Amino acid sequence: MFKGTAISLQNKEGQIKIQKVRELTKLANGKPESLPMSTHTKYFFIGLQTTPGALALAWVAKNPNTSTVILGASKPQQILDNLKALEVLPKLTPQIMEKIDKLLGNKPKLEVS
């Protein structure tokens, strides 16, 4: 299983995925100086200073189609780490969400019932 993943990350599509993860990690860690963006946008990213995992969970929770975010953990510390997403959630301004959506290129569609 892991061998197939490692091989798939070596092709062009895999390298694009790796670059996206690197950019999201920079965003999560609050290192805006390495991200290409305006000074105004950098201001918003400075405050995130979190982990990629907490950023991902907050991004999922911010999606209007999400009713529940299910946390997976095998150790108590993992639950505490996952709950840090609650601190990130109010920091996900429309500008940050737009930046993430543009970077990933996979914005979920709002379903109307």
Q: Contact at 8 Å (CB) between 59 and 100? A: yes
The answer to the question of residue 50 being in a domain is yes
The answer to the question of residue 91 being in a domain is yes
H-assigned helices in 38-109: 39-46, 52-62, 76-83, 85-88, 94-104
pLDDT at 104 over 80: yes
Query: pLDDT band for position 31 (50/70/90)?
Result: low
Counted domains in the chain: 1
The answer to the question of residue 12 being in a domain is yes
Q: What digits encode the pLDDT tens for the residues 44-98?
A: 445 577 888 888 899 999 988 888 998 888 999 999 989 999 999 998 988 888 8
Tell me, what's the pLDDT at 40?
46
The answer to the question of residue 45 being in a domain is yes
Range of the domain at 68: 2-104
* Cα atoms found within 13 Å of the Cα of residue 60, Cβ hemisphere only: 13
Q: Rounded to two decimals, what is the model's pTM?
A: 0.66
The answer to the question of residue 109 being in a domain is no
Q: Contact at 8 Å (CB) between 88 and 43? A: no
Tell me, what's the pLDDT at 43?
45
